[in-house]
Amino acid sequence: MKQVLEGNSAVAEAVRLARVQVISAYPITPQSHIVEVLSDYCATGKMDARYLRVESEHSCLASLVGAACAGVRTFTATSSAGLAYMHEMLHWTAGSRLPIVMAEVNRALGAPWNIWSDQTDSLSQRDTGWMQFYCEDGQEVFDTVLQAFRLAEWVNLPVMVVTEGFLLSHTYEPVDVPDQEEVDRFLPPYNPAFKVDTKNPFTFNSIAAPSIYMEIRHDNAVAMDQVLERFDDVEKEFEVIFNRRYGALEAVNCDDADIILVTSGTITSTARLLLDDLWAKGEKVGLLKVKMFRPFPVESICRALKTARKVAVIDRNFSSGAGGIFLQEVRAALCNMQERPLVFGYVVGLGGRDVTTALLNDIYEKTKDSNVPPDKSIWMGLREVKT
Amino acid sequence: MKVEMTQKPFVAITYETTESNKTGSWRFLKPRYQDKTSPCSAGCPAGEDVGMIEMLARQGLFEEAWETILRENPLPGVCGRVCFHPCKAVCNRKDFDSPIAIHTLERFLADAVAGSGFTALKKVPQKNRKIAVIGAGPAGLSAAWFLSMLGYPCDIFEALPEAGGILRWGIPEYRLPLAVLRSEIARIERMGVRIIPNRAVTFHTFDELRKSYSAVFIGCGHAHGTKLGLTGENPETVRDGLEFLREMRKGKSPLCDGLSVVIGGGNTAVDVARTIIRLGGTAVILYRRRRQDMPASGDEIASALEEGVVLEELIAPWALEGSGSRTVLLLRKMKIEGEDKDGRGRIVFDGEKTVKKVVDHIFAATGAEAAEPWHSPPLPQRGVMGFSHCVLCLEDGGSPVIYGGDLTNEAKNVAQAIASGKQATMVVDTYFERGADEIKPRLEACRVGNGQALSMEAYLEGPRGGRSSHIVQYGEINTDYFRSEEGPAQPRLSAEERRRSFKEVESGISADAAAREASRCFNCGLCDQCDNCYVFCPDAAVIRGRHMEDRHINYDYCKGCGVCAEECPRNAVIMGEEGL
pLDDT in tens, A49-107: 999 999 999 999 999 999 999 999 999 999 999 999 999 999 999 999 999 999 999 99
Q: Which member of B1, B9, B17 has the closest CB to residue A237? A: B1
Examine the domain organization and report whether B498 and B566 are in the same domain: no
Residue B253 lies in a domain: yes
Residues of chain A with Cβ-Cβ distance to B17 below 8 Å are 203
Residue B484 lies in a domain: yes
* Burial class of residue B529 in the structure, from the number of CB atoms within 10 Å of its CB (0-12 exposed, 13-18 middle, 19+ buried): middle
pLDDT in tens, A155-172: 999 999 999 999 999 999
Min Cα distance B345 → chain A (Å) is 58
Domain that holds residue B191: 131-223+370-445
d(CA B452, CA B444): 9
Examine the domain organization and report whether B242 and B353 are in the same domain: yes
Which residues, 6+ apart, have CB-to-CB distance to B5 below 8 Å? A154, A193
pLDDT in tens, B440-485: 999 999 999 988 899 999 999 988 988 999 999 999 999 999 999 9
Residue B344 lies in a domain: yes
Examine the domain organization and report whether B412 and B315 are in the same domain: no
Min Cα distance A353 → chain B (Å) is 43
Q: How many domains does chain B have?
A: 4
Q: How far is CA B182 from CA A229, A284, B75, B77, in A?
A: 93, 111, 11, 10
Mean pLDDT of the A301-305 span: 98
Q: What is the pLDDT of residue B5?
A: 42
The answer to whether B397 faces chain A, any CB pair under 8 Å, is: no
Name the β-bridge partners of A345.
A313
pLDDT in tens, B206-259: 999 999 999 999 999 998 888 888 887 888 889 999 999 999 999 998 889 999
Examine the domain organization and report whether B137 and B195 are in the same domain: yes
Query: Is the predicted pLDDT of residue B1 greater than 70, yes or no?
Result: no
Domain harbouring B135, CATH code: 3.50.50.60
Q: Which member of B9, B12, B18 has the closest CB to residue A156? A: B9
Q: What is the pLDDT of residue B117?
A: 58
Contact B14 A219 (CB under 8 A): no
Best B3, B7, B10 member to test A by mutation, with max A CBs in 10 Å, is: B10
Mean pLDDT of the A135-144 span: 98
Range of weakest confidence among A256-270, B366-380, B528-542? B366-380
pLDDT band at B353 (very low <50, low <70, confident <90, very high): confident
Examine the domain organization and report whether B412 and B499 are in the same domain: no
The answer to whether B3 faces chain A, any CB pair under 8 Å, is: yes
Name the β-bridge partners of B454.
B447
Domains in chain A (CATH in brackets) are 2-192+202-242 (3.40.50.970), 249-379 (3.40.50.920)
Contact A202 B15 (CB under 8 A): yes
Range of weakest confidence among A55-64, A115-124, B281-290, B545-554? B545-554
- What SS3 string covers B148-168? HHCCCCEEEECCCCCCCCHHH
Min Cα distance B493 → chain A (Å) is 50
Min Cα distance A7 → chain B (Å) is 30
Q: What is the pLDDT of residue B580?
A: 58
d(CA A157, CA A151): 8
Query: Is the predicted pLDDT of residue B2 greater than 50, yes or no?
Result: no
Q: What is the pLDDT of residue B154?
A: 97
Examine the domain organization and report whether B534 and B509 are in the same domain: no
Q: What is the pLDDT of residue A193?
A: 84
Is residue A41 within 8 A of residue A167, CB to CB? The reply is no
Examine the domain organization and report whether B289 and B397 are in the same domain: no
Q: What is the pLDDT of residue B344?
A: 83
Examine the domain organization and report whether B336 and B384 are in the same domain: no
Q: Which residue has the higher pLDDT, A193 or B49?
A: B49
pLDDT band at A149 (very low <50, low <70, confident <90, very high): very high
Examine the domain organization and report whether B376 and B362 are in the same domain: no
Q: Which member of A95, A203, A233 has the closest CB to residue B13? A: A203
Contact A236 B15 (CB under 8 A): no
* Three-state secondary-structure class, residue B339: strand
Q: What is the ipTM of this complex?
A: 0.71
Q: Which amino acid is at A37?
A: V
Residue B229 lies in a domain: no
d(CA B413, CA B306): 24
Q: What is the pLDDT of residue B6?
A: 46
Contact A216 B18 (CB under 8 A): no
Residues of chain A with Cβ-Cβ distance to B10 below 8 Å are 97, 215-216, 219-220
Best B11, B14, B15, B18 member to test A by mutation, with max A CBs in 10 Å, is: B11
Q: Which residue has the higher pLDDT, B439 or B115?
A: B439
Residue B284 lies in a domain: yes
Q: What is the pLDDT of residue B7?
A: 60
Which residues, 6+ apart, have CB-to-CB distance to A77 below 8 Å? A11, A25, A31, A34, A35, A102, A103, A104, A105
d(CA B158, CA B144): 13
Residue B1 lies in a domain: no
Mean pLDDT of the B374-403 span: 91
Calculate what percentage of chain B has a pLDDT beyond 70. Answer: 96
End-to-end CA gap in chain A: 54
Residues of chain B with Cβ-Cβ distance to A95 below 8 Å are 12
Examine the domain organization and report whether B289 and B360 are in the same domain: yes
pLDDT in tens, B52-98: 999 999 999 999 999 999 999 999 999 999 998 999 999 999 999 99
The answer to whether B18 faces chain A, any CB pair under 8 Å, is: yes
Q: Which of B349, B366, B383 is the last residue of a domain?
A: B366
Examine the domain organization and report whether B293 and B356 are in the same domain: yes
Residue B3 lies in a domain: no
Examine the domain organization and report whether B144 and B196 are in the same domain: yes
Query: Is the predicted pLDDT of residue B121 greater than 70, yes or no?
Result: no
Contact B11 A208 (CB under 8 A): no
pLDDT band at A349 (very low <50, low <70, confident <90, very high): very high
Range of weakest confidence among A338-342, B118-122, B363-367, B555-559? B118-122
Residue B468 lies in a domain: no
Cis peptide before A112 (omega within 30 of 0): yes
Q: How far is CA B512 from CA B58, B431, B505, in A?
A: 10, 46, 22
Mean pLDDT of the A359-387 span: 94
Tell me what the pLDDT averaged over chain B comes to. 92
d(CA A158, CA B342): 76
Mean pLDDT of the A206-231 span: 92
Mean pLDDT of the A124-129 span: 98
pLDDT in tens, B148-181: 999 999 999 999 999 999 999 999 999 999 999 9
Q: What is the pLDDT of residue A268?
A: 98
Residues 2-61 of A with CB under 8 A from B: none
